[in-house]
Structure 1
Amino acid sequence: MSTQHSDDHKDPAQAPRLRVLLGEVTAMGPGKAMLLDAIRDKGSISAAARSVGMSYRRAWDLVETMNQSFREPVITTAKGGSGGGGAQITEFGETVLARYRDMERKACEALRDELHAFADFLAEDHKP
């Protein structure tokens, strides 16, 4: 009988939520990573915020926190106007995001069996 649960890390209820702290500030976490993905896909902070169900103000706050937390900007922006504005993830931001996603994957793999066993403690209506 195998003890491998290879799909557990794909279930958000079975996934650890990794946050990288810089003092009291979260430099990177699940919401910021999701926002970076959306900015890459949408090309603007406002469109990215809408696509992930986040307010524009919250998205801007997260972008500012990330840009201040890292040694280089992770997002660059262009002001609006006749050609329109926009935002894009920088090459450095892509590297940060890739490393964060790799850490998430490794954390899920390392905790897979423990998370599966921990699910036995949950109420029936909350089990994955």
Structure 2
Amino acid sequence: MSPDPASTPPAPRLRLRIVLGPGAMLGPGKAELLERIHDSGSISAAGRQMGMSYKRAWMLVEEMNAAFAAPLVDSARGGPGGGGAKLTATGSAVLRHYHAITAAAAQAGAADLAALSALLRPPPAADSPNDMSDGK
């Protein structure tokens, strides 16, 4: 019988954040925002899909646009024809490079992540005396 997924601790994994300069970073959240803008054609929709306000999504896009020599996202204001947003060639390149870097880091660190996983304490059994889920 295979172990219960709820009792199996998550395996160690990498979450890579690249420091681009003072106050400028690119990590999994901004990469996901870029992907969702690409897929939805909208900063607002991308933000909603991620559970963030339009203001927060717009601020993150502005941060990314300011950090690079060319904007990553091109947006058009709403109106009769509607607005929208799309990744620029630079935005697509940044996203491609970010994914390449994270994949290379994951591959390079796979053996060490497995070794760390083997050193983790196993989760307590559901019926162990230390289980306090019944509120006692």
Same fold (TM over 0.5): yes
Q: How does 1:12-91 map to 2 (within 5 A)?
A: 13-91=11-89
Deviation, structure 1 residue 13: 4.9
Q: SS at the partner of 1:21? A: strand
Deviates further, 38-47 or 19-28: 19-28
Q: Distance in 2 between matches of 1:54 and 1:122?
A: 33
Larger relative contact order (C-alpha < 8 A, sep ≥ 6)?
A: 1
Letter in 1 for 2:114: H
Where has structure 1 moved over 6 Å in runs of 4 or more?
none
Structural RMSD (CA): 1.8
CA contact (8 A) 1:17 1:29 kept: yes
- Which residue of structure 1 aligns with residue 96 of structure 2? 98
Unaligned 5+ segments in structure 1 are 1-11
Deviations 1:35-66 (A, max 9, x none): 00000001000100111222222211110110
2:6: which partner in 1? none
> 1:22: Cα distance to partner?
2.8
Counterpart residue number, 2:123: 125
Contact 1:27 1:70 in 2 (8 A): no
Letter in 2 for 1:77: S
Q: For residue 130 of structure 2, what is the aligned residue in structure 1?
A: none
Percent identity of paired positions between Structure 1 and Structure 2? 48
Cα distance, 1:77–1:13 mapped onto 2, change above 3 Å: farther
